[in-house]
Amino acid sequence: MKVNVHAVNFTVDRKLVDFIQERLMKLNKYYDKVVSSDVFLKVEKTSEKENKIVEVKIHVPGDDFMVKKQCKTFEEAVELSSESLERLLVKRKEKIRTHI
């Protein structure tokens, strides 16, 4: 799976990119037909501490899944996003399995 990381209006450090790629590669365990994923990192200008936004878009044949999370850190948001995507992919896999 190809993982594209897009940081909006800031530069992202290598450690965070590696963390995101490593975490999203684990999604292949749940659904092996994932083509690619786009990760958008944004910082919202608010006084709140939870101002880091992560949007993950996953492309699978015939469908796209999008998850958006807002947290205090990008790592936490990526973690929550990938957990949501795991559930979505497992659901999709089961749905396909019932049609076969």
pLDDT surpassing 80 at residue 27: yes
Going by C-beta distance under 8 Å and a sequence separation of 6 or more, which residues neighbour residue 54?
A: 39, 40, 41, 42, 68, 69, 70, 71, 74, 77, 78, 81
Confidence of residue 24 (pLDDT cuts 50, 70, 90): very high
Supply the mean pLDDT for the chain. 90
Number of domains in the chain: 1
The string of pLDDT tens digits covering residues 33-67 is: 889 999 999 998 877 888 999 999 999 888 899 99
Q: What domain range includes position 56?
A: 2-99
Confidence of residue 5 (pLDDT cuts 50, 70, 90): very high
Residue 73's CATH number = 3.30.160.100
pLDDT of residue 16: 94
Confidence of residue 100 (pLDDT cuts 50, 70, 90): low
- Provide the whole-model pTM: 0.88
